[in-house]
Homo-oligomer: A and B are copies of this chain.
């Protein structure tokens, strides 16, 4: 076994691409399990609850244990329970993400907390203006992440990050961002598996959110080139992963080299 005890893994772009499993990903997860690595899956996805995400991944042959998956909405809900117990929360999130906020009072108006966590059809002018008015009435602004955009088969799509920034500008308030690359997010994942930052490596496809975020939190990091960013990304002039691997299947070999 290598000098690492824990492995954090991003999901989309690392284990699957558009719900097509990366070849050998499931076998790599079994290998990590067999060798005693503690794994935790960390994702900024805001399209569904953790339970639904895990079920969908199981359906494509990626059996992840739900208690070892930390999503941006799960981290956001944990933050609210810790810092704003009993407060009323208005969610702008997709799918069944509200399931991750169990125990938190969810309201349609008059909220103490506004959570921006989705994009596309949710980001109507009406929803933005509703959020804006609650913020001007004293609500605090939380964001599951501040991703700017993502790539789809039809082209680039605006993500919620620019809209969070729009609300920040209009209200003069800074949002608290809970997903990657936030340090707290990585700490929450490490706590889940009882591993210290210096004992862990983060494996991701996003240079800023995965690699940069992990390094800020004191972890080492590995970029895989099956997803968002490749080995020729200009972002690598600024952020330097400990390794750049073609795919998750190259991780066992790299971990063995670190022994």
Contact = CB atoms under 8 A, between A and B. Distances in A.
Interface of A: 119-125, 128-129, 132-133, 136, 148-149, 155-158, 161-163, 165-167, 169-170
Given A119-B125, A129-B157, 11 more contacts: A120-B125, A124-B125, A132-B149, A132-B156, A132-B158, A161-B169, A162-B165, A162-B170, A163-B166, A165-B166, A165-B169
26 contacts: A122-B125, A123-B125, A123-B128, A124-B124, A124-B125, A125-B158, A128-B158, A129-B157, A132-B149, A132-B156, A132-B158, A133-B155, A133-B156, A136-B156, A148-B170, A149-B170, A158-B170, A161-B169, A162-B165, A162-B167, A162-B169, A162-B170, A163-B166, A165-B165, A165-B166, A165-B169
Contacts of A119: 125
**Total identical chains:** 2
A165 B124 CA distance: 16
A156 B134 CA distance: 10
Nearest to A125: B123
Nearest to A123: B125
Nearest to A121: B125
